[in-house]
Amino acid sequence: MIFYSVLLAAAAFGAGSPEVKSDEVGSISGHILWDGERPAAKPDLVMDEKAATGCKHGADGGLNKKDDTLLIGDNGGIKNVVLTIEVAGAERKVPAEPVAIDQQGCRFEPHVVVLPVGATLRFHNNDDTNHNIHTFAKKNQSINKNVAQASNADQLLDKAEVIDVKCDIHPWMKGYVVVTDATHWAITGADGSFKIEGLPPGEYEISWWHEELNKGKTEKVKVEAGKDTPLEHKISAEKKGGGGRRR
Amino acid sequence: MADRGDTHYHVRSLNLWFALSSLLLLVSALWMVLDDWKRPWKDYQRRFRTIEAARAEAQLESPEALAVVAEETRLAGDLDKAREMLASRRGELDEANAELRDAKGRLFVATEAEKKAKQVNNWQRFLTEEHRLQHGATDPGTVALETELRQIEDDLAARSGAKQDAEAAVRAQEKHIAEMEADVTRVETEHKNAAKSIELVRTKLAALAPSDLPTKVANVIRDFPGMDFIGPNLKVAKVLPPDLTFELNFTDKPRIDMCQTCHVPIDREGFSNDPQPFRSHPRLDLFLTAKSPHPLSQFGCTICHRGAGEALEFQRVDHRPPDEEAAERWHAEHGWHKQHYWDYPMLKARYVEASCVQCHKSSMELIANDAPKMAEGYRLFERYGCYACHKVEWFPTKRRPGPSLAAVAQKTNAEFVQTWVSNPRAFRPTTWMPKIFHLENYGPDVTVAASHYGTGRDMKGDEWSDAAVAAVSTFVLSRSASEPLPPVPVDGDATRGREVFRLVGCLACHNMAPFTDEARDAETDLANQRRVTNEHGPNLRGVATKVTPEWLFAWIKDPQAYWKETRMPNLRLSDQDAADIVAYVFEDPLFKDVPTGWSPGEVAYKRDVLEEQARWFFNRELRSELDRRFQNEWKDDKALLVALGEKWVLAQGCHSCHEIPGLQDAQPIGTELTNWASKTVDKLDFGFMPEILAEEHGWSHEQALAFKEYRENFLEQKLREPRSFDRRKVKNPTERLRMPWFNFTEAQIEAISCFVAGMVDDEVQHARMVPSPEQTAMDHGLRVIRQKNCVACHVLEPGVIDFKDDEGAQHSVHGQFLVFDGDVLPPPMKGFQEYVAKYEESEGDLEEVVVQLLEPEPGLGRTGDTVVVSDVDGIKARPPWGGDLVEPIAEYYLYGDDHHEDVEDVDGQRRGYTEEQYDKVRWTFAPPVLVGEGDKIQRDWFYRFLLDPFPLRQQLRVRMPTFHWAEGEAAAVADYFAGRARLDWPARYARRLLVAKEQTPEQVAQEMVKLGVRATPALVRGIVAGRALEISTGSEGLQRYGREVGFESSPAVDPAYEAIPQRAPSTLDPLLALHPEFFSTVHDLVVKGPNCVQCHFLQGAPPSQTTPIAWAPDLAHARDRLRPDWVREWLTDPARIYPGTSMPANFPLDQEQWQDLLPAPSAQQIEAVLTWLYNLDRATVRN
């Protein structure tokens, strides 16, 4: 359990940075914030009682029904925004250990996972019931596997894309796996904070992605060796567009 | 000599005349020979030789050929060098050869010596043996002889040894010489083989355009008049197809087709761009080549194209110009005109598909893709009911095309009937019923009954037609059942009815499209759009003005009760559902929408017209008798109308299309069409139409005459304006033409003409065209599928996507598109490029499109794998065959309608579905996809299901109706799917094999050859593509290879029986003996492990999921319904069969799970679950 927490923490606070000398590199840290009026909180997820038998209840005895598609902290920070920087010439560090996405309480924890191309993703079932992992990948292999309690399913991901993850047995479950071919990445925490380390000096534009909002790029940020450059970026509420088949 | 003066004639002038006439004769003879020798076809052949020579030259100048020539030259240089080198060693070589001669001489001497020694040996043996026999072995004489014998034997051995040595010496010497010459020999061989690839071309060029004088002269002599019987270059090409005869004045003669004399390369590839007559035939894979189903030597040309096969001149062949403009051009260039007195002119290129009819009567569905115009004509012929009046002996459909009128009085009222019969299309423009009355030979200005008939006034066509309409309608209503129908039992809710109407499946066959084209184009509601499949049943706009609610209720509850032969199936609606639909229909304004200006009302008729009509129809009776009847039983108009109506109905043939009580056995009124196209054209009554058309179009007299020479002209005109042949004719009322007017479009006229023009009397021998029982079954199945409109709901063939991959290779795969970035719904396959354009307008350039494979594709991947395509502009998508209802239903679930956005599910709860769930909604709530169903479903179960459907998928609101099947139809459909699975199996096997072993066709062919099987890459590719020829010759070999490399595949569907080994006692008894707890163990595995019952029903018990979107079929059906091989594949990896399915891979082969419940590898767990599943009815299960 502790192992997984550490792994989760590592994943949440930007685990992707190549091996370089610490005095030759700089870092960018800051917050991704919501621009404008905060939207109303989303209603709870509808969890079918009968289907939710076996989901682990929280410490208070109830199920966590929070909808985490758009989580904005008290300071306006947006959670689960994935930030990536492609640094020319830098080497992408692929973690040797599989990056985990857990199913607990009939939710995917963490809700969004970032890993580099070539890394292995591990699905773990921490509940007392079956879960099936149903990924909707376009370029990688989609899988739909039944994962027994306390067991894992691994998958090597070698193409860059955003993969939706669902469970057919519990239709409210939703997760995202962002497979990136960038060299540096981070994901924001609950207060929208992030830190990208190991950047050679230069000017960079950070690409960001969020499941509900459009993807985009921040303004250019200058990185100096040995220093940490702050960045506060605001994203406004642009919902994902649709193609022409809408009515 | 000088004139002697004693003759009456003048010798000198006689000589002169003699000389002149001799000269004249000589010239005439030469002229005759020349004229006979100079033929236009020889010019064509000469031209073709030039073309071929030019082509050969071009080939020789192509880069490949030049490379070969360069190689050849290089090798020639090498050869010269090698020969030089050899020459420089000439001395050595001569010595060696001399040595060889000596060695051979020595060998000869040694051989002779050995022979001699052998003879001596034999003689000595004989002496010794004889002596021994006579005198005993111990006799001194014998001993002496034996000693001698031994000496001689030693001598012989020595000489044999000497001979062998000499032989060895000779061989060694030969080898030595060969080594010296080895280089030269090798280079010689290489040089000879170097030019092999272009040798053929060179030979051809040498023959066609020789460069040396002797050959040139020889060529001229070969074709010289008088010499060209020996071995000419220019000769007539004849094809005598066996058993295909030609009827000529009541006798059958063999066909001799000489078309290839001018059309020289007709059966050769590579001439598709040349001017006629040097163009290759289109579709050489289907026609003329030896590998095609219609090889030239077996079929000839005229059996399909007609025309005069034995003529050798352009004019005499009766070539047919494709249009007027071509006709004029031919007239100008060739002096062409229609060949008179040839009864079977060549078919227009547009109509050549007509010839398919004579052989393919029992495989019309199978050839529909290769003969689309004729197939369309065949379908129209069936749809519009032409066969009902015009008998076609072999036509498979025999039912009456129009609704039964046995109870029409319960359905509608007299006003509607009369307005309808007057002009059906005024109410419903898309109806198939033609206009029968008020046509041009009964127009308002046309006098039908002149005053001099004794009527006292001229009776015009419009009043005549009105009277007819009134009579017909009164008669039909009088014969109809008219008891009032029971009222609708429950109150209907129109809002709910609107939803039921859209969900239960009405829109699969019916549409409610607006009446005008502009309104139709603007229509966005899918219910109101016209597709081909939703015109299977009538357009329902305005139907509330026609029928009564009670009738509609009874009809949708049980259509067959009203009309036994209707194509509308029974939707097994509950009373409430039916009442809701009826309420919806009678409250929604759409169903009261009628075309502008239309309103029902009874027609006004005139009594005197009725009486005049009676005089014509009852013309066997005396006028006085009729007058009496007019005063008595026909005094009441109604009685007269009924009596007249029956006569009108019989005259106009209404009974052919509609069942009318009392007239079920009456004869149809149309001409029999079975051999129509064999009728000589002089037997067709063109009337005055040629002159009339000439006046209209400004034709010349010749053109007007020419019009009459082609029977297709008659046919087209008849379809266009059936009664036009009555123009300018004076006819009494009962003689006039009766064919109704269908208002066909020009395209429809062409299609139907194409079909009818094929109905000839030439019976091609059945040995030529014998469809296998399987093909006949498939054809029958396809016909039933078409007639029942299965494709309106179900996808039967997946879509095809053509694209170019990153290396530039072209691919054509069965596949579907995945969602674009930023979109939520996947792009449509129909109109794909238009959608891409729209997308790019709002979202920017589309850089890549992801294609998901729906079948294993060698070189690309397995089912479910994706291919990223960057060349978006080059993508062409062909939509799937079928499944037209899927989009409307999915859209209804997502968006609802004007009243509400949510949908009532089967459990009565209302739920809303979002676009994110589109995929699941589409696969769960829309009619299922039936691609490859023959591999999945047991055929017998399918047959029973078709006869009696039940809710297999409990979450569906769209319903599979109960069809009524004529004899053999349900079996034909079940057999079609099983037959397809069998036919497709070799290609699927090949694909799976290549994909599993990741090999190209070239590699597989090589491996097969190593195994001793004859194979080429083209053969393997042909098997993968599903071509019949390659499959029949190569499939066995490929399977042998598959077995060699350990490729396992489920076998093909068995044609006769389904073996279920899981249920066999030989499987179960030992299993249960070993593991008595087997069933409960596996039941525990199923429930505690993957827990199938979370989604699947089990023997009626509902699953844990309460939302219908997650429901899966009852597992209890599996043992009767599914094939075990398929279930095994399904359990192993469902996403490889239906990509994107919600069913997970519960027992992944690469990961063992549930070992505490059933410790075994995944494959064995799957087998255990299979056995459990197939014995659910026997196992005592614990819940």
Q: Is residue A10 part of a domain?
A: yes
Among residues B149, B157, B156, the alpha carbon closest in space to that of B127 is found at B149
A171 vs B contacts (CB less than 8 Å)? 1107, 1109-1110
Which string of DSSP letters, residue by residue, matches B168-191?
HHHHHHHHHHHHHHHHHHHHHHHH
In a domain, A137, yes or no: yes
ipTM of predicted assembly, 2 dp: 0.83
Three-class secondary structure of residue A152 per DSSP: strand
Please enumerate residues of A whose Cβ is less than 8 A from a Cβ of B: 48, 50-51, 53, 129-130, 132-134, 136-139, 141-148, 151, 153, 168-169, 171, 214, 240-245, 247
Does B172 contact A at CB distance below 8 Å? no
Chain A residues with beta carbon closer than 8 angstroms to that of B1144? 132-134, 144-146, 168
DSSP bridge pairs for A78: A72
pLDDT at A243 over 50: no
Whether residue A247 is contained in a domain is answered as no
Record: contact B843-A241, CB cut-off 8 A: yes
Residue A9: which pLDDT band, with cuts at 50, 70 and 90? very low
B851 to chain A: nearest residue by CA? A138
Q: Is the dihedral of CA B201, B239, B370, B322 positive or negative?
A: positive
Share the mean pLDDT of chain A: 79
Residue A243 in any domain: the answer is: no
Q: pLDDT class for A6, splitting at 50, 70, 90?
A: very low
Residue A21 has what pLDDT?
A: 54
- Tell me which residue range forms the domain holding A107: 2-236
Rounded to the nearest 5 degrees, what angle is found at the Cα of B1126, between the Cα atoms of B1123 and B1129?
A: 150
Task: Kindly determine whether residue A144 and residue B1091, on different chains, have CB atoms separated by under 8 Å.
Answer: no
Where residue A15 falls among pLDDT bands split at 50, 70, 90? very low
Tell whether the model's pLDDT for residue A22 goes beyond 60.
Answer: no
pLDDT tier at A19 (50, 70, 90 boundaries)? low
With beta carbons less than 8 A apart as the criterion, state whether B543 and B935 touch. no
pLDDT of residue A240: 53
Query: DSSP labels for B509-538?
Result: T-----SSHHHHHT---GGG---SGGGSS-
Distance CA B875, CA A94 (A): 36
Positions in chain B short of pLDDT 50: 1181-1183
Task: Return the pLDDT at B55.
Answer: 87
| Structural domain contains residue A204 | yes
CA–chain centroid gap for B269, Å, is 22
**Does A142 sit within 8 Å of B1140, measured CB to CB?**
yes
* CA A182 vs CA B134, B709, B740, B1024: distances in Å: 113, 77, 74, 40
Global pTM reads: 0.85
CA distance B1090 to chain A (A): 6
Residue A98 maps to a domain = yes
Are the beta carbons of B761 and B247 closer than 8 angstroms?
Answer: yes
CATH number at residue A187: 2.60.40.420
d(CA B354, CA B360): 10
Chain A residues touching residue B1148 (CB < 8 angstroms): 145, 153
**Which residues of chain A have a CB within 8 Å of the CB of B915?**
242
The count of structural domains within chain A is: 1
Tell how far CA B100 is from the center of its chain: 72
* Mean pLDDT value of segment A215-235: 82
B residues 55-114 lying closer than 8 A (beta carbon) to A? none
Predicted confidence band of residue A13 (pLDDT cuts 50, 70, 90)? very low
Cβ(A222)–Cβ(A215) under 8 Å?
no
The interface residues of chain B toward chain A in range 788-847, judged by CB-CB distance below 8 A, are 818-820, 822-825, 827-828, 835, 838-839, 842-843
Q: Which positions ≥6 away from B930 have C-beta within 8 Å?
A: B790, B794, B795, B796, B882, B977
Predicted confidence at residue A14, as pLDDT, reads 45
Q: Of the candidates A50, A145, A245, which has its C-beta nearest B828's C-beta?
A: A245
Q: Does the CA dihedral B307-B312-B313-B316 come out positive or negative?
A: negative
Give the Cα separation of A68 and A62 in Å (integer).
17
Residues of B in contact with A137 (CB under 8 A): 866
Q: Do A130 and B1091 touch (CB under 8 A)?
A: yes
Q: For residue B808, what pLDDT is reported? A: 85
**B1109 contact A CB<8A:** yes
Say whether pLDDT at A1 is over 60.
no
Residue from B370, B377, B352, B419 nearest B745 by CA: B377
In B909-928, the residues whose Cβ lies within 8 Å of chain A are 915
State residue A53's pLDDT score.
Answer: 74
The Cβ of residue A245 has, within 10 Å, a number of other Cβ atoms equal to 18
- How far is the alpha carbon of A216 from chain B, nearest alpha carbon, in Å? 13
Give domain status of residue A245, yes or no: no
Q: Which of B1085, B1105, B1133 to mutate to test the interface with A (most CBs of A within 10 A)?
A: B1105
Residues of chain B found within 8 Å of residue A51, distances taken between Cβ atoms: 1094, 1104-1106, 1110
Q: Is the pLDDT of residue A12 over 50?
A: no
Q: Residue A243: which of B839, B850, B1107 has the nearest Cβ?
A: B839
Closest partner CB to B1089 (pick from A50, A148, A214): A148
Beta bridge partners of residue B861, listed in sequence order: B857
Distance from the A169 Cα atom to the nearest Cα atom in chain B, whole angstroms: 7
Probe site for chain B from A145, A156, A161 (most B CB atoms < 10 A): A145
- Determine the residue of chain B that is closest to A241 in CA distance: B822
CB–CB contact A243 B1139 (8 Å): no
User: B864 and A142: CB-CB below 8 Å?
Assistant: yes
Residue B1138, chain A, CB below 8 Å: the answer is no
Best A53, A168, A170, A174 member to test B by mutation, with max B CBs in 10 Å, is: A168
The CA distance from B1152 to the nearest CA of chain A, in Å, is 10
pLDDT at B229: 86
Asked whether residue A162 is domain-assigned, the answer is yes
Q: Do A51 and B1106 touch (CB under 8 A)?
A: yes
**What residue in A sits closest to B1156 (Cα-Cα)?**
A148
Q: Which of A42, A47, A53, A138 to mutate to test the interface with B (most CBs of B within 10 A)?
A: A138
Q: Is B794 exposed, middle or buried (0-12, 13-18, 19+ CB in 10 A)?
A: buried
Give the model's confidence band at A23: pLDDT under 50 very low, under 70 low, under 90 confident, else very high: low
* CB of A107 closer than 8 Å to CB of A64: yes
Give me the residue from A133, A168, A241 closest to B842, CB to CB: A241
Q: Which residue has the tokens 């309409």?
A: B469
Residue A10 above 60 pLDDT? no
Q: HSE on the CB side for B524, CA within 13 Å?
A: 5
B415-440 burial string, b = 16+ CB within 10 Å, else e? Answer: ebbbbbbbebbbbbeeebbbbbbbbe
Q: Give whole-number Cα distances, B663 to B123, B388, B409, B649, B659, in Å.
A: 114, 14, 17, 9, 7
Q: How far is A148 from chain B (nearest CA, A)?
A: 7
Q: Half-sphere exposure of B695 toward its Cβ, with a 13 Å CA cutoff? A: 4
